[in-house]
Amino acid sequence: MATYIKVAGELYTAEINGSMADYTWDGRESKSITLTMSHNEVAALLPDGTPWSIVQRTPAPDENGTENENEWDNSAYSLSGDITDHRDGTVTIKMGKSTDLEDAYEMLLGGDEA
């Protein structure tokens, strides 16, 4: 099965790992996404608030000639975190969910309303 992330309608081959409680990032749920691109490219692709999804495709088409594809919205993981350059042409970016405390502050203080 091939795994991708989908951002603005474009697919990018990716390796994705998740953490239910990322203790290196305030205990929030997070996804680590490894992509073949530069630090600057991934920073531009996935800034805070970017809607994105995980797409998985089967390697071979079915008997009708169509690929089987599943897509899961991951837009709740909207906080851009650390970017690690692996020096082999790949980088890993952490995308995280807001914590309960951050959500409570947002409700109390309001957001960026115009």
Over the stretch 71-87, which tens digit does the pLDDT of each residue have? Answer: 999 999 999 999 999 99
| Structural domain that includes position 66 | 2-109
C-alpha torsion sign, points 59, 86, 16, 76: negative
Q: Considering the entire predicted model, what is its pTM?
A: 0.80
Residue 88 lies in a domain: yes
**Structural domain count, the chain:** 1
Identify the three-state secondary structure at position 55. Answer: strand
Token pair belonging to 24:
């290196």
Identify the three-state secondary structure at position 106. Answer: helix
In terms of DSSP H, where are the helices of the chain? 39-45, 100-109
Residue 114 lies in a domain: no
Q: pLDDT digit string (tens) for 38-75?
A: 999 999 999 999 999 999 988 777 777 777 889 999 99
Amino acid in position 28: R
> Between vectors from CA 48 to CA 57 and to CA 99, what angle results, nearest 5°?
95
- Measured distance CA(38)–CA(1) in Å, rounded: 25
